[in-house]
Each structure stands twice: as structure tokens, then as C-alpha cells.
Structure 1
């Protein structure tokens, strides 16, 4: 993976982003990826052709049935489904630090390995198996590959409850961004598809 698929990195932050998609208010690119993946799975399960399955998935977002199904799954496992309908209930990180664009121009690369490691440093993951996890910690990317930016414009924010961890993560996030005066070529998130037809070849 050479570009982040969404804008949020971290436990609660990613759940909130997933809820936004299921609530039909998600990032357009991430929503489209989820629709395409879901449609392909339904197609492989024999629920119709690709177009029919895509429309089934689209309707489930628009009708609210996709979000309702997630709430049912959470409830069936003993969770509190109120969080699905009201993501503001998720614990908020106590501290945050913004990362600013080093120069004006375009974002030509976001090093996803650095982003992942920064998430761990923020407290969202473990360096050792005995380490605890801060479920509110993580990163929100305000800018993505190909976006134009002005110098000192916020490109990301690191969240957590430990200033030292946040500072370490922020340094790594800052190093993850590469800028150029020239606009980069568009990158497709979906390069190709595997379908029942291609599997039978």
C-alpha cells in the first residue's frame, strides 16, 4: 500500500471513519472502495452481476440498513450499539499536535509505513506485547496524495494522552510527507478486479 486508504489511523478513529462510511457520510474515495469491495464479495457469493451487487450495496448505505446491521452485530456481541448511532460517545484524546506542510505545492508521497509506525508511537499500538493501548490515540490526515497545500497549512493531527508519545509520532508523520511544485499523476486505488469470470479462466 503506497497511499493511505482513509483519513483516520488508530482504533477509535478508524471505527468512527467506518461508521461515517456506513452512515453514507464517509470520505468519497473510501466509500467508493468499500462499495466496490462489497459488490465483488456479493458477486462471488452469487447475489447478482457486478452492477446489480453494487446497487445493492449503494442502497444499503442510502437506506441506513448497512449502519443498522453494524449496530446489530455490536449488540449481538454484548457491545453498546449507541456508539454506532452516536460516535461522539467514543473517548476523546486529551492531547493533540498538528503537523504542518513544509512547503507550498503538492503532496507527491505519503509513506504509509511511517504513518503506521507513528500510530504505534502515539499509543494506538504496541511496541511490546505487554504495552497498553490508548484507544483514543491515532492520526487524522487532513491532506492526501495529490492534494495542493500551502506552507504551514495543517496536513495531519496526532492524538493521544501522552505528550512525549505524540511528539515522537508527529516527527515521524512530518517525515512521511513528500512535496513537489509539480502536481503528481493520479493514482487509482483499485488497479484491477478479481471476479468469478477471471477466476474461471
Structure 2
């Protein structure tokens, strides 16, 4: 089929056959389809949508545009988690080793920071020597020896998606639910998963703030993933405040290690992490009961098995062998720290979570342009939760900065983001809903 005829059919609201979609995706991969044609197709989909069958076909075609990993010979169910992103969302760092300590194989392919949200790979790059872009042999060895590996997408995994997304990013077509779904799932399914759990965020710190729209994405992701043959469920989780009490890179790694070792666990972060771990155990059929799966995940955390697994993963992928025990010595620290104090007494009524994420970017902990270098040491810690009672002058957070100018900008952003009122607000549970196929 000619590319222009393929585009015309979708432009006019017609249905696309799976073999025609596969042919178009091959053209994206080999360059025979131009950027202009990709852009035109994306815009046609933006306005006319894709059916569930068309979205499955697009997902599978992009999955098959490169390598599809094979985990045969590894005696563990292979499962992963994907988050739509948030502020202080370092769940992956604890979840992968908890799930692995429970008997799952977790080949976690993660991304870098996007907009106001932090990237798991940028956090892992804080660890000296850690390889976030290993070859497939090292990736497999890490999963075999540690049970999990947190890495980035290689050039050989879903290359059609990489090109397609690049065009969508500059043609105002990113927001299509069907194209978001195919983009996310093509990369995840290329990892050779047996099952998948999705963490779909909503709220003022999420990419999709509106609950109903985020729920539509969750339902589409679950339906398409199951249609593509991968058992999948989703949890809807609240991002109306930072999930961890830290936002940044090295500071979130510290938060994760302290969580795994029991030094400090943010309550909402613990709830979400263990809920996702239990969901992974159930969806992979390693456990049949959500209650027993949750207990099993909690035991793996409290026993120290998950912390040991994290340390093993870090070492196999090139990091220090004593990282868990001596993380403070290995992680870079910011030159300046300063407390941001509450301007009045009361209760934290709300937090503009997106603005906290932007403050981290302004500090240098995120990117304004794709080529920007990350400052792994900067960030914000000690972020207090919505509903917390504070006295005037009590700390709201601590800024870790490279210089006085960026520290002042971050301090102002935090003061603007925190709304303090006399009345104690109602605080929603962090896990709002479970979405199944």
C-alpha cells in the first residue's frame, strides 16, 4: 500500500488492516516513510483515533521493529512495571528488588526525565560506575544473578517508536491516547515480558492531571496490552503531592536506600510501592491472593532481602560492591543546603507538585534541552506531606543547590507551591483504583 493511501484512509476515518499498519511501521524503521508522512499519519490518528485492534497492531508492529528479548532459561516469571511519571517517584528503585526478592525476574527498561518529572535512569546514573545502557548479555546476566536490572532503552529495542515519537514531539500529536499507548507498550513488550503492571498517575504533578482522562489511558493500556498477549493490570495513583519526601537524583537514591534498609520510609511511598509489588506477584501468577502477595512483598522488604538484591544489581551493573552500606560516601553532594521555613502556622492544605518538579529542573536536576547535562547532586529533601500541621518557622523542605542564585529560586518556588491554611484538609489515599482487563 502506498503511504499516502494509508494516510488518506485514516484521514477519512477508515479502518486500517494489521498488515498495512505493519508495512507502514517497516517504512518508519527503514526510512522509506518520510517524516512528513509520519506527521500526517499521527495527525490523522490524533483527530480520528484508532480502534483497539488497530492500536494492538501498531503496538506489535513497533515492538517487532527491533529486538524482542528472550528470557527462556531463566527460572523466574518475567514481569515489569511502568509509571506514567511524577515528582519524587522513585518507586522503581525499591519495587524492582522487592519483586525480585519474591522470585520474579524484573528486566526494568526505564526512561530519563521528561518535563517536570524525574527520570529513573538519571537517578541510577547518580551511582558511580553503574551502567544504564548495558548490552543484552550484561542485561541478561544482571537479571539472572540479581533477579532484576534497571536500564534504559537500547537502540535495538522498538526503534520505530523512537523515530515516531521524535516526530510526534514536534508536531503537537503527543497527546493521542492510542499513540501514547502504542509507544509505551511497544518498548515494554520488546523486553519479552510475561506480565506487566502499570502505575498511572493523576493529579497536579502528573502529565494527565484529570482523573477521568488518566483512567481512560489506564483502561486503554490494559486493554491493548492484554490484546497483545501480555497479562496486564494497572493501579491509579495520586500525584497531587510528591510521592517521596525527596525530589532530585542522588537525593532520591538516598531516599530509596534508606527505604530498603528501614532507616526511613515515607508512608505514601511505602503504600504505593508495596501495592505495586503485590500486583506484580498476582498478575504474574506467582501468588493468587492480593493479601498474601502484599504480605510476601512486605516480608521481602523488612527482612533485608530486597536491600541485598538492590546491592547485587548495582554491583553486577558496574556500581560499587558496598553501595548499600556506604551510599553516602559514593553519592555526590551539593555545595549548598538550606532549609525553607513555613511562613505561618497551620496545616499544609495543598502542594503544587508540578512546581516542585520544575524547581528541581531549575536547580539543574533536570533538562531544559535534551542535550543538557544533569547535576545529580542537587534536589529537594524533607518535603512534608499535605495535611501536616506546621508552626511558623518549621521546615517545609531542604534545598540542595550548586549556588546561591539557584538556591534562592528553589526556595521561592517551594514557598509558592505550599499552601498553608488554618483548617486541616482531607487527604486522599495514594492508591485510588485497580484497573483490570
What TM-score, normalized to structure 2? 0.43
C-alpha distance after superposition, 1:158-201 (max 9, x if no partner): 1022221111111111110001100001211011123xxx42xx
Separation in 2, partners of 1:142, 1:10: 12
Q: Which structure is larger by alpha-carbon Rg, 1 or 2?
A: 2
Q: Does 1:88 align with 2:88?
A: no
Please tell me whether residue 119 in structure 1 is matched to residue 360 in structure 2: yes
**How many matched pairs?**
196
Residue 16 (1) aligns with residue 257 (2)? no
Runs of 4+ that moved beyond 6 A: none
In the other structure, the counterpart of 2:269 is 30
Structure 1, residues 114-135: CA drift from partner, whole Å, max 9, x if none? 0000011112112223332211
* Contact 2:344 2:392 survives alignment (8 Å): yes
Please tell me whether residue 146 in structure 1 is matched to residue 387 in structure 2: yes
Kept in 2, the 8 Å contact 1:98–1:158? The answer is: yes
Q: Is the 8 A contact 1:97 1:167 kept in 2?
A: no
| Contact 2:271–2:430 (Cα < 8 Å) also in 1 | no
Matched, 1:181 2:181: no
1:122-133 matches, cutoff 5 A: 122-133=363-374
Q: What's the Cα RMSD here?
A: 1.4
Cα separation, 2, equivalents of 1:111 and 1:173: 9
CA distance change for structure 1 residues 174 and 81 in 2, over 3 Å: closer, same or farther?
farther
Higher relative contact order (CA 8 A, sep 6+): 1
Q: Following the alignment from structure 1 to structure 2, what is the Cα–Cα distance between the partners of residues 69 and 29?
A: 23
Contact 1:100 1:152 in 2 (8 A): yes
Mark the runs of 5 or more structure 1 residues left unpaired by the alignment. Answer: none
What secondary structure, in the 3-state scheme, does the structure 2 residue paired with 1:155 have? strand
Measure how far apart 1:85 and its partner are.
2.1
- Structure 2 gaps of 5+ residues are 1-238
* TM-aligned CA deviation for residue 141 of structure 1: 3.1
